[in-house]
Amino acid sequence: MSWDFQQIKQTLREDAAAVASPRELEDFRIKYLGRKGLIQEIYASLADAPKDQKPIIGKEANDLKKMATALVEERKQGIGSQPGKAQRQLDPTLPGVAPRVGHKHLLTQTIEEICDIFEGLGFSIQEGPEVETEFNNFTALNIPEDHPSRDGFDTFYTNVKDRTSKDANLLLRSHTSPGQIRIMQEHTPPLAVVIPGKVYRPDAVDASHSFMFHQIEGLLVDKDVKFSHLKGLLHAFCKKLFGPDIKMRFRPHFFPFTEPSAEVDISWKGGKKEWLEIMGCGMVHPKVFEYAGYPKGKYTGLAFGLGVERMTMLKYGIPDIRLFYENDLRFLEQF
């Protein structure tokens, strides 16, 4: 068998130039350098070649091998930056690919909407830490030592010691109310703040419970704040959030940190049930002022706490709290 080495080299270069993808590069390598490739075939032909041809064929085969190896390396670098045949034919008249633009999660939207309303009513927005002391989460809120909400079934305790207390561990706040204590320790009245954030409770997860959810706390302290202010404020808020036809009622309730305390129910035309509970509220308990370090009898205040998931479910008719956390785009994209 005689070989036209000129022709082979020419084809080798052309083949190498046409390589446009890693796959094509591999085909090229196999064609020339593979075990059954052309160069091996040339080496194999040495056995039957006339004696005087052997050194020539051997040298040419060696050259080809070097060339092919070098070309494989070269093209390997080139594929990334140098467009192959298919990519070279860019058609600038084709429509572009629009980037997918995301948007805020529905819960974030609700939190912002609620905070905006209160900002419009003169409140400022503050945040507190999710890891809290027992003192801020319970004691300073006048929650007695033996209150069931303090036990491990109702609150997540960490194994980290609280350096500010003798034998307490830090915990995951079970409500945003410890934010009230932090604000009062740092500011003197008059003050009006809302505190949005995550809270944690070891509840079994079902359609209406989650071990983590969001609350928004409100606190207003001044001289001569009255329950009527609380009613007026929450009424104005609900009208802004749910529309002017909303009906509201204050139902007496108990919280250790407010006195008197109430739960707020709302009802609206087209709503399924007659009354739906949306938040807890009340007048700041004098004991709480005491723990916060305020002078006795000088101030009065109102406080409220609402569940963001619950509000959002009511507002949009969402049947299951788990939908908020599954991040299924079919759900999220509706809002």
Pairing mode, strands 124-125 and 191-200 = parallel
Instruction: Verify binding: residue 282, ligand PHE, rule CB under 6 A.
Output: yes
**Interface of this chain with ligand PHE, residues 254 to 273, rule: CB under 6 A:** 255, 258
Q: Before 190, cis peptide (omega within 30)?
A: yes
Structural tokens at position 116? 């905006």
Binding window for ligand PHE (CB under 6 A); candidates: 98-106, 229-237, 287-295, 297-305? 297-305
Sheet holding 157-161, edge to edge: 131-132, 169-172, 157-161
242 binds ligand PHE (CB under 6 A): no
Q: Does 234 bind ligand PHE (CB under 6 A)?
A: no
User: Backbone phi, then psi, for 56, in 5-degree steps?
Assistant: -65, -50
**Least distance to ligand PHE from the beta carbon of 332, Å?**
26
Task: Tell the smallest beta-carbon distance from residue 261 to ligand PHE (Å).
Answer: 6
Q: Does 303 bind ligand PHE (CB under 6 A)?
A: yes
3-state class (DSSP) for residue 1: coil
Candidate ranges 187-195, 266-274, 291-299, 302-310; the one touching ligand PHE (CB under 6 A)? 302-310
Instruction: Examine residue 123 and tell whether it contacts ligand PHE (CB under 6 A).
Output: no
Among residues 177, 210, 300, 312, the one that binds ligand PHE under rule CB under 6 A: 177
Kindly state whether residue 197 participates in binding ligand PHE, applying the rule CB under 6 A. no
Question: Does 305 interact with ligand PHE (rule: CB under 6 A)?
Answer: yes
Provide the token pair at 139: 């004691």
3-state secondary structure of 249: strand
- Look at the block and give the residue holding tokens 């999710």: 130
Instruction: Count helices and strands (H / E) in the chain.
Output: 13, 10
Q: Does 57 bind ligand PHE (CB under 6 A)?
A: no
316/235 Cα distance (integer angstroms): 20
Q: Examine residue 250 and tell whether it contacts ligand PHE (CB under 6 A).
A: no
**Residue 179 binds ligand PHE (CB under 6 A):** no
Taken as a whole, the chain contains a residue count of: 335
User: Using N-to-C axis directions, what is the helix angle for 22-33 and 38-45, rounded to 10°?
Assistant: 0
Residues 17-36 touching ligand PHE, rule: CB under 6 A, are none
Q: Which two tokens stand for residue 24?
A: 């094509």
- CB-based closest residue to ligand PHE: 305
Tell me if 214 contacts ligand PHE by CB under 6 A: no
* Nearest CB to ligand PHE, comparing residues 196 and 305: 305
Q: Which residues pair with 157 in a beta bridge?
A: 171
For residue 17, the number of C-alpha atoms closer than 13 Å in the C-beta half-sphere is: 6
| Closest CB to ligand PHE among residues 110, 258 | 258
Q: Taking CB under 6 A as the rule, does residue 291 contact ligand PHE?
A: no
Q: How far apart are CA 188 and CA 299, in angstroms?
A: 10
Q: Measured from the CB atom, is 32 or 138 closer to ligand PHE?
A: 138
Binding residues vs ligand PHE (CB under 6 A): 175, 177, 217, 255, 258, 280-282, 303-305
